[in-house]
């Protein structure tokens, strides 16, 4: 009998198999007929049917040769005009399809290179199949995503940068790699705004000195976000704002609001930003567009006291409970109106220590070493 049938009798199984076959045929016909019907209903297709038919009818009613020639000339002129209109429509469609790549290429070869004053290799304005989910940062960060307690993380679609080793004697490796990833981040924002299935962009800073201490990590995050902000194609430069420490501020790039989460090896096993010992030579800055949260229908934020710890009612509650159950509870304000910047770099003890004002961080001297070793 058919595997889709719950009955055991041969007759019932045969009937179910016949129904399955009929359903397959209907599905095939629907896929074939519906697009064809939509195409036939397009105004241009209707006009191409109507005008030649009208020409045939009028040609039969022409009283003489002169009228027939004039009618043929008019019809030929219409054919030329219609072909020109079709060509223009195809050009517009092609420009629309190529618009994101053209914007990224212009951004890469124009303002960024001009600002640097030199040629940078590895500027990618195109888009490979699947985006940049296969980048080095995305693949390395995936090892961390599989261990974190965020329920969205394992299935998230994350792009990232490809770190290039540069001798410090020839320039700043962090600044160089920021410049290399700018076109890719810009393309990511364009894809997000167009409703594509992208959830995050991760920037990997590779080098133990970038995240071995909280002081060093705060400075690294400041450098990364200020570097991205300074190259914002929209010219907003949100990191230059004097209201970073206030409510209402948020990080944005190319007019895309981005939620920032950071991870570093300086955090202990009890910290929600703990890196699980994965890639201890690197730290990660994750930028998540608000469009992703809307697409996944994440419930609205609410105070800590509104969390149902005993019986989670939605995905937000379950995420909070999951971190708490694993001993990595994070700070949840008792208000939904708070400065987002205070949550970008977590303190070593997020439930006790004051917020880390990373935007005021200075380059570490290298003599201090503040690493959380508590468990």
* SS3 readout for 202-222: EEEEECHHHCCCHHHHHHHHH
Residue whose C-alpha is closest to residue 186's, from 166, 173, 167, 201: 201
Per-residue confidence (pLDDT) for residue 256, from 0 to 100: 94
Dist CA 185 CA 278 (whole Å): 24
Can you give the pLDDT at residue 90?
Answer: 67
Residues 6+ apart with CB under 8 A from 302: 316, 336
This prediction has a pTM of 0.68
Packed helices 43-61 and 65-107: angle between N→C axes, nearest 10 degrees: 160
List the alpha helices (DSSP H) in 163-260: 173-193, 214-230
Share of the chain above pLDDT 70, in %: 74
Q: How many residues does the chain have?
A: 375
Three-state DSSP state, 328: coil
Q: How far apart are CA 16 and CA 5, in angstroms?
A: 6
pLDDT one-digit tens code per residue, 288-301: 999 888 888 888 88
What pLDDT was estimated at residue 34? 56
Classify residue 295 by burial, with Cβ atoms within 10 Å: 0-12, 13-18, 19+. middle
Please, which pLDDT band fits residue 31 given cuts at 50, 70 and 90? low
Mean pLDDT of 106-117: 46
Q: What angle do CA 326, 327, 328 make, to 5 degrees?
A: 95
* Per-residue model confidence (pLDDT) at position 152: 82
What is the H or E stretch that residue 136 is in?
helix 136-145
| Tokens linked to 186 | 């810009």
What confidence score (pLDDT) does residue 373 get? 43
- In whole angstroms, how far apart are CA 240 and each of 138, 185, 235, 236, 288? 28, 20, 11, 9, 21
Distance CA 312, CA 56 (A): 72
Tell me how far CA of residue 295 lies from CA of 111, 228, 233, in angstroms: 32, 25, 25
Q: What is the pLDDT of residue 101?
A: 53
pLDDT band of residue 267 (cuts 50, 70, 90) is: very high
Residue 42 has pLDDT above 90, yes or no: no
Whether 293 and 227 have beta carbons less than 8 Å apart is answered as no
Contact between 331 and 316 under an 8 Å Cβ cutoff? The reply is no
pLDDT tens string 139-171: 999 999 999 888 888 889 999 999 999 877 677
pLDDT exceeds cutoff 60 at 12: no
Task: Give the separation between CA 93 and CA 335, rounded to whole angstroms.
Answer: 47
Torsion of CA 60, 64, 66, 68, to 10 degrees: 10
CA 314 from chain center: how many Å? 24
Asked whether the predicted pLDDT for residue 11 surpasses 80, the reply is no
Q: How far apart (Å, rounded) are the C-alpha atoms in residues 341 and 339?
A: 5
Mean pLDDT of 345-353: 96
**What contacts 323, CB < 8 A, 6 or more positions away?**
149, 272, 329, 330
User: At 284, is the secondary structure helix, strand, or coil?
Assistant: strand
Task: Name which of 114, 199, 192 is nearest 155 in CA terms.
Answer: 199
- Return the structure tokens found at 254: 């190319």
Query: For the CA atoms of 126, 132, 137, 142, what is the dihedral angle to 10 degrees?
Result: 180
Average pLDDT, the chain: 80
């Amino acid at each position: 009998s058919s595997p889709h049938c719950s009955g055991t009798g041969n007759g019932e199984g045969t009937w179910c198999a016949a129904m399955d076959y009929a359903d397959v045929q209907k599905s095939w016909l629907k896929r074939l007929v519906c697009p064809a019907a939509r195409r036939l209903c397009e105004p241009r297709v209707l006009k191409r049917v109507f005008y030649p038919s009208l020409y045939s009818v009028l040609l039969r009613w022409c009283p003489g040769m002169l009228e027939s020639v004039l009618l043929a000339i008019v019809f030929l002129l219409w054919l030329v005009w219609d072909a020109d209109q079709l060509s223009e429509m195809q050009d517009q469609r092609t420009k629309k399809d190529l618009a994101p790549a053209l914007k990224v290429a212009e951004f890469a070869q124009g303002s960024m290179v001009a600002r640097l004053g030199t040629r940078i290799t590895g500027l990618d304005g195109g888009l490979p199949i699947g985006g940049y989910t296969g980048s080095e940062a995305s693949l390395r960060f995936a090892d961390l995503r599989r261990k974190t307690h965020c329920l969205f993380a394992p299935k998230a679609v994350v792009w990232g940068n490809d770190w290039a080793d540069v001798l410090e004697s020839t320039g700043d490796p962090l600044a160089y790699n920021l410049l290399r990833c700018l076109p890719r981040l810009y393309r990511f924002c364009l894809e997000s705004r167009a409703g594509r299935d992208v959830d995050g962009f991760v920037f990997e800073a590779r080098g133990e000195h970038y995240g071995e201490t909280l002081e060093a990590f705060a400075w690294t995050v400041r450098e990364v976000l200020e570097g991205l902000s300074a190259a914002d194609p929209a010219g907003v430069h949100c990191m230059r704002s004097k209201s970073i420490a206030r409510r209402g501020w948020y990080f944005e790039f190319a007019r895309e609001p981005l939620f920032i989460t950071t991870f570093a090896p300086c955090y202990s096993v009890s910290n929600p930003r703990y890196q699980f010992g994965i890639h201890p030579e690197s730290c990660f800055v994750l930028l998540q567009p608000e469009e992703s949260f809307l697409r996944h229908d994440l419930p609205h934020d609410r105070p800590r006291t509104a969390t149902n710890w005993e019986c989670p009612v939605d995905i937000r509650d379950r995420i909070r409970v999951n971190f708490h159950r694993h001993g990595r509870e994070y700070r949840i304000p008792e208000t939904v109106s708070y400065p987002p910047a205070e949550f970008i770099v977590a303190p070593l003890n997020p439930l006790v220590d004051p917020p880390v004002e990373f935007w005021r961080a200075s380059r570490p001297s290298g003599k201090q070493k503040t690493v959380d070793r508590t468990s």
